[in-house]
Structure 1
Amino acid sequence: MNIVLFESDEIGQPLVLSDERAKHILGVLGRQKSDTFDAGVIDGKRGKATVDSIGTESISLSFDLQHEEPSLYPIDLIVGLSRPQTNRKILQEATSMGVRSLSFVTTERGEASYATSKLWTTREWRRHVVAGVVQAFTTRMPQVSFGISLKVALEAKANAEVKIALDNYEADLTLSEVDRGSDSIALALGSERGWSGAEREMLREHHFQLAHLGPRPLRTETAVVAGIAVLLR
């Protein structure tokens, strides 16, 4: 953990020793009474926490959180639902890179069952988002939605300044050649089997420009990271 994060209602409460964060503070960081470590409140301020006491069942902490975190990058990601293991990687990596939102959409070539996997039904997804936030040494979490249709997701980004869909088959420009602007970018990627012809037409109807990342087909999670990296240049 590059930073230890807490929910706002956990501040001032004992942290049980069985909690992974307590194990990290005491075991990995090696903190003892009166020692400090980097901490923050999810979607709140960042600063230092102090170990006030170490008991047999829990530790007590105090917080000095003064640093206001900057806003996330104005990049809204739309991704076709893929296998749960792929979605887990996307959740963590896209979050660590600072995107503002992630929308996982149903597509014609994606498996319908992906939307009802335990990743989504048990809120496991949030754990992977938090892991991405921790990796990035920040507190800001992106908005996450899942199981919505591609059409609904595209309509929700109607006001985006720049709209781009990655596609290896019909795109004429590379992503780096697209005029990316700066205020708001919506980036769409298909599921592991890509877009259907009807979905490409829908993307165009919603003013999404097709672009590619080169001639080599990439895994979805790799394309997500590469696409975000190009947009952040």
Structure 2
Amino acid sequence: MLSARTTFHTGCAQRRRRSRGERNWPEIPVVRHAPDSPTGPTSVNLILFEAPLPETLLRGGDPRARHVRDVLRRRPGDTFDCGAIDGPRGKATVVADTAEGLRLRFAWESAPPPPLDPIVLLVGLPRPQTARKILREATALGLSRFRFFASGRGEPGYAASSLWRGDAVRRLLIEGAEQAFCTRLPEVALHASLSEALEAEATANATRVALDNYEAPRGLGALPAEPHTPVIVAVGSERGWTADERDSLRRARFELRHLGPRVLRTETACVAALAIIRERLGRYR
């Protein structure tokens, strides 16, 4: 898995396939911390840093420095909202603005950041531009974990995208968290199949639901959910589920639910489902 601390993986199923001589699933490299990696957002509500240091130099070429100068228009003596990834929020004071960059001093809150919602999103691997939207917007909604998987009707080449290399995913998570005024980042994992993704959540005590336009008898809005019970929601690829995938979901105790008669884009369905589930968990009360 990948978060501020974790990595992409394809699991033991990949090794089993190799031993049988079957088609190899692409290697997903470890994505590690880059010190204060710039995310380059056009507008954010919270600027994130790697650790709750007492002070730092934000170099002039860092997009965050440009944001503080040009968007927030902060000058020496001014403050702005900041956060440490998976750590506290706080206030940053611009101590000096020089050709080298911005010298910042931090005052961190003592309270820990609120936890992420106990929601896991399983998504059939979409085209890269769609995956980018899902990663950013779903992170803003506060889920705990993504599990992307190669689906029966998906395009195998999507896994070879540069999105899944380097720190591109992590930058999108940071953008979503900054938008939401949050410091916590969700975990992300990439799996070779739906079965592998389901196996990774097999022991979870959770409400399990899969979106389906064709065989779902009830809408997602009527989903019974307890405030502290985790929810695992599965969204198929852009071409929907195969019959075998529906069978796998049912065997894994997933209930099929729909979002109404309209056919939605994958990113729209993910955001709508997360918003409904958060309401069912009482997050808007």
- The TM-score normalised by the length of structure 1 is 0.96
- The answer to whether structure 1 residue 157 and structure 2 residue 201 are counterparts is yes
8 A Cα contact 2:54 2:107, kept in partner: no
8 A Cα contact 2:191 2:197, kept in partner: no
Of 209, 218, 225 in structure 1, the residue corresponding to residue 264 of structure 2 is: 218
Show the counterpart of 1:194: 240
Q: Distance in 2 between matches of 1:10 and 1:194?
A: 46
Q: How does 1:1-233 map to 2 (within 5 A)?
A: 1-8=44-51, 12-66=55-109, 67-158=111-202, 159-182=204-227, 183-233=229-279
Q: Which amino acid aligns with 2:215?
A: E
Q: Distance in 2 between matches of 1:39 and 1:120?
A: 27
Q: Distance in 2 between matches of 1:201 and 1:32?
A: 60
Structure 1 residue 10: Cα displacement? 6.9
SS in structure 2 of the partner of residue 53 of structure 1: strand
The answer for unaligned runs of 5 or more in structure 1 is none
SS in structure 2 of the partner of residue 160 of structure 1: coil
Q: Distance in 2 between matches of 1:175 and 1:189?
A: 12
8 A Cα contact 1:115 1:147, kept in partner: no
Q: Distance in 1 between matches of 2:240 and 2:136?
A: 21
Q: Percent identity between the aligned chains?
A: 47
Q: Distance in 2 between matches of 1:79 and 1:220?
A: 9
Aligned-residue Cα RMSD (Å) equals 1.3
8 A Cα contact 2:52 2:87, kept in partner: no
Aligned residue pairs, count = 233
Q: Which amino acid aligns with 2:207?
A: V
Give the strand-richer structure, 1 or 2. 1
- Bigger drift between 2-11 and 185-194 goes to 2-11
Structure 1 residue 11: Cα displacement? 6.0
Structure 1 residue 58: Cα displacement? 1.4
Structure 1 residue 123: Cα displacement? 2.6
Instruction: List structure 1 segments (4+ residues) > 4 angstroms apart after TM superposition.
Output: none
